[in-house]
Structure 1
Amino acid sequence: MSNTNNAYLKYTRFVLFFVFVVIAAGGIVRMTQSGMGCPDWPRCFGSWIPPTNASQLPADYEKYLRQQDIDHEFNAVHTWTEYINRLLGAILGFLFIIHTIWSARKFFSTRPSIFWMSFLMLVATGVQAWLGKRIVDANLAVVKVTTHMLVALVIAIIPVVILRRLQNIHPVENKGTKWLAILTLLLLLVQIVIGTEVREQIDEVSRALHYEQRELWINRLDFFFTLHKTCAWIATACCVGLFWRSLPYKVLSAIGGWIFVVVLTTLVLGLSMLYLNVPAIAQPLHLICSSLLFVLVYALILRLK
């Protein structure tokens, strides 16, 4: 493989890594209840650089604060947490622009599918930015938050497809394992969708309790949480099965090992939220691990036929 190909692959891996940085940032925004820290979009309190204290607020600042259901007064931590999240999203957009231009120059005439996948990442990032505006406009409406998460997963799997197509790896023919992997991927997708609903309920419960009395949060959740717990055990069993079935194959065993580690980590984080009164740090970590697990299972599917 040429040096330019190696550089392109390394950059694609870096882009994939940065996608998870942005997902982590979104999780921290939710963890800190900073989603409306900037109650307008794309600006923040009417400015491109948000204020650091109340004295820097615009004259009409009250119309922005009325959009918030958390602070009702200026909170610099919430504002800058959300603003940094937006900056990271913008940086990711620039990384995708570079990736698309590089893909066009390198593959447009020889392997156009690589270029179009790169271009799709760029378009999906634009859609994600638009959804971000819609979420702010709708004050964190759960349906839009769920769609935001699903688009993030689409963005995350595209670099995996590009890497798979450029790597000289012969797929393993194992129909049973492939069908198990597809079933697992669907279960994980359902889990992520249900998880966003559970997360929205936690937001509502915590808001009603003024973000205190964490020991009461779980008990106030409805059947979606029970469904989430049940599906979690089924998905975990499927992931362990994938790990076991991947062991005889060198091409699959590394990804299978990561699936095993990440699914156990995700399970432990979920149990910590259940039995340790929803520790704040567990929330973004659970989100990251769930997203990573989805991408890993998808990567495994790409190595099967």
Structure 2
Amino acid sequence: MQNISLTHARFALTLTLLALLVIVLGAYVRLSDAGLGCPDWPGCYGNLIAPTSEVQIASANSAYPAHPVEVEKAWKEMVHRYLAGVLGLATLFLAVLSIRNRNLTGQPHLLIWLLVLVVALQAVLGMWTVTLLVKPAIVTSHLLGGFIVAALLWTLTLRLYSPTLNRYVVSRAGRLLWFSRIGLVVLLLQILLGGWTSTNYATIGCTEFPTCHSGSWWPNMDFSQAFTLWHGTGINYEYGIISAEARTAIHMTHRIGALITAAYLLFLSIYLCRTGRSVITRQLAWAVGILLILQLGLGITNAVSHLPLPVAAAHNGIAVLLLLTLLTLNWQLKRAYRME
């Protein structure tokens, strides 16, 4: 049974890494303006692969005159869909394994089926992202869903590895666990706000740091338009439709959120290093602090360097790693708390 659990754990770990790749690639596709590289779903201009020959391109342009083929963007979108499809099928395979091993003790059946449900919802959101013309509320939900899939897969990995992991005694684990849970919620809210910033093309709503525009600390902003969730259907949201003042409002809100998140997570890291009397807890605290500093540096670079694509994609990747590190910290503290 232990060998089966370890095999499943390694499979879940592989899927976690695949989910990380899908998230980063999805960010790259969106930020390179290839989110509508294929105007239909799940295929591309009515085919399972992006059109490349002159005949295919002419046929696709005739069928979708409002969306002429851009081969590079179409392939970016389709590679992302292929990888997401592999992830979905592999998750379903996990569920099949769960059914086959239902009589074994310690099988996290509920977690696996929750994962299947979220992946299915992700597929629907992926379809709506295209059919609703990259509507920010849908795209942000899709991005958050990707983070949740990665988080669930990592939690599953920890659950499956747990019989072989050592437990560590952590002083005052109950209090530390609550602090860590608050940090997780704060980070998730900031990730949601970051998704809203990106999908509304507000990342360069401010192009200076620490000021915003022309040395201004508090420029003209339109908060009412900035956080309007629904603008109706039939509107193409590619490149954004809100005013510059609204984008600045979103960007400034994201900056304030980043400041709050950074302050809390740095406090958490320092507090854990001083009071967590286990090596693993201190290591996780250091990891949170290092990833946080790196994330802040990438965010600042995005603004002042006008969103360089590799940096913007890395900003999403570090956000996932930060989330998974906090999840691991919560997991470790929860296990220690149960020992008290």
TM-score, L = length of structure 1: 0.86
Give CA-to-partner distance per residue, 1:139-195, whole Å, 9 cap, x none: 000111111122212211222322333314436442332222222222212211211
**Matches of 1:54 and 1:281, distance apart in 2:** 31
**Matches of 2:128 and 2:34, distance apart in 1:** 16
**Matches of 1:159 and 1:132, distance apart in 2:** 19
Q: How many residues align?
A: 291
1:33 aligns with 33
2:52 aligns with 52
1:251 positional shift: 3.2
1:96 aligns with 91
Is 1:255 aligned with 2:254? no
Verify the 8 A CA contact 1:31 1:281 in the aligned structure 2.
no
Candidates 139, 144, 148, aligned match of 1:154: 148
2:327 aligns with 298
**Matches of 2:65 and 2:185, distance apart in 1:** 40
Verify the 8 A CA contact 1:16 1:156 in the aligned structure 2.
yes
1:203 positional shift: 6.8
Three-state SS of the structure 1 residue aligned to 2:108 is helix
**Matches of 1:193 and 1:97, distance apart in 2:** 27
2:11 aligns with 11
1:204 positional shift: 10
Three-state SS of the structure 1 residue aligned to 2:44 is coil
**Matches of 2:58 and 2:114, distance apart in 1:** 38
Is 1:278 aligned with 2:307? yes
1:42 aligns with 42
1:214 aligns with none
Q: Any gaps of 5 or more consecutive residues in structure 2?
A: 206-237
Letter in 2 for 1:170: R
1:163 aligns with 157
2:201 aligns with 202
1:242 aligns with 268
Q: 1:2 to 1:204 in 2, by over 3 A?
A: closer
1:97 positional shift: 2.2
Between 163-172 and 123-132, the greater mean CA deviation after superposition: 163-172
Verify the 8 A CA contact 1:53 1:76 in the aligned structure 2.
no
Give CA-to-partner distance per residue, 1:202-223, whole Å, 9 cap, x none: 27989xxx98xxxxx9988322
Q: 1:203 to 1:140 in 2, by over 3 A?
A: farther
Candidates 90, 110, 129, aligned match of 1:135: 129
**Matches of 2:90 and 2:267, distance apart in 1:** 36
1:112 positional shift: 6.6
Identity %: 22
2:61 aligns with 61
Letter in 2 for 1:147: S
Three-state SS of the structure 2 residue aligned to 1:224 is helix
1:292 positional shift: 2.1
**Matches of 1:264 and 1:58, distance apart in 2:** 49
**Matches of 1:112 and 1:42, distance apart in 2:** 37
1:117 aligns with 111
Larger CA Rg, structure 1 vs 2 = 2
**Matches of 2:297 and 2:204, distance apart in 1:** 23
Is 1:269 aligned with 2:298? yes
Give CA-to-partner distance per residue, 1:258-282, whole Å, 9 cap, x none: 2122111111100101222221211
Is 1:225 aligned with 2:251? yes
Verify the 8 A CA contact 2:268 2:285 in the aligned structure 1.
yes
Give CA-to-partner distance per residue, 1:50-102, whole Å, 9 cap, x none: 21144313646345342x4xxxx321100000000000001111221222222
Three-state SS of the structure 1 residue aligned to 2:201 is helix
Kindly indicate which of the two structures has a greater share of residues assigned to helix.
Answer: 1
**Matches of 1:259 and 1:142, distance apart in 2:** 29
Q: 1:160 to 1:174 in 2, by over 3 A?
A: same
Letter in 1 for 2:51: P
Letter in 1 for 2:117: V
Verify the 8 A CA contact 1:40 1:64 in the aligned structure 2.
no
Give CA-to-partner distance per residue, 1:13-51, whole Å, 9 cap, x none: 111111101101101101211000010001110111221
Q: 1:267 to 1:54 in 2, by over 3 A?
A: farther
Verify the 8 A CA contact 2:15 2:90 in the aligned structure 1.
yes
Q: 1:17 to 1:258 in 2, by over 3 A?
A: same
1:117 positional shift: 1.5
1:256 positional shift: 2.1
